[in-house]
């Protein structure tokens, strides 16, 4: 009986993860950071918004930051931020929330540096 309960619970968790992954969205931002000070400021800004989103009740929605290795000779789009969103509705709700808007307004000078030359895409899970 314990095995059956375990298998049912495991299947339910797996189904829930699959169903939510099908609704998942990733926003991908490619850009260039000009210097280490700007990168440090930007990372602090991302940490702040990730905390705000968790406080708003969306802890599974967050931003991740990536950069190319120093040895990579690529000249442009050396940095990347990926927004992880559980659904289109959560993406919209978060971006329309007064706390998110206040963060964006407070950081508009920081983010403008990256937005001006960025390549942005919103990607959806493939069926």
What's the residue count for the chain? Answer: 127
d(CA 107, CA 103): 6
What integer is the mean pLDDT of 47-59?
97
pLDDT at residue 108, rounded to an integer: 84
Q: Give the list of residues 6+ apart from residue 104 with CB closer than 8 angstroms, or none.
A: 111
Q: Nearest CA to 85 among 73, 94, 74?
A: 94
What integer is the mean pLDDT of 47-53?
97
- CATH numbers and ranges of domains, the chain: 24-124 (3.30.70.100)
Local confidence band at 117 (pLDDT 50, 70, 90 cut-offs):
confident
Question: Which CA distances in Å does 63 have to 6, 9, 27, 70, 117?
Answer: 34, 30, 9, 22, 19
- The mean-pLDDT minimum among 14-28, 56-70, 98-112 falls in 14-28
Local confidence band at 9 (pLDDT 50, 70, 90 cut-offs):
very low
């Amino acid at each position: 009986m314990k095995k059956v309960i375990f298998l049912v619970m495991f299947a339910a968790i797996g189904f829930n993860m699959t169903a939510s992954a099908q609704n998942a969205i990733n926003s991908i931002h490619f850009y260039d950071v000009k210097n280490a000070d700007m990168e440090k400021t930007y990372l602090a800004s991302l940490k702040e918004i990730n905390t705000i989103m968790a406080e708003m009740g969306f802890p599974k929605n967050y931003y991740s930051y990536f950069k190319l290795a120093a040895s990579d000779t690529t000249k442009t789009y050396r940095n990347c931020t990926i927004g992880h969103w559980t659904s289109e509705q959560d993406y919209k709700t978060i971006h329309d929330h007064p706390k998110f808007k206040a963060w964006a307004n407070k950081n508009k000078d920081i983010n403008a540096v990256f937005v001006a030359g960025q390549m942005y895409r919103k990607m959806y899970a493939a069926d």
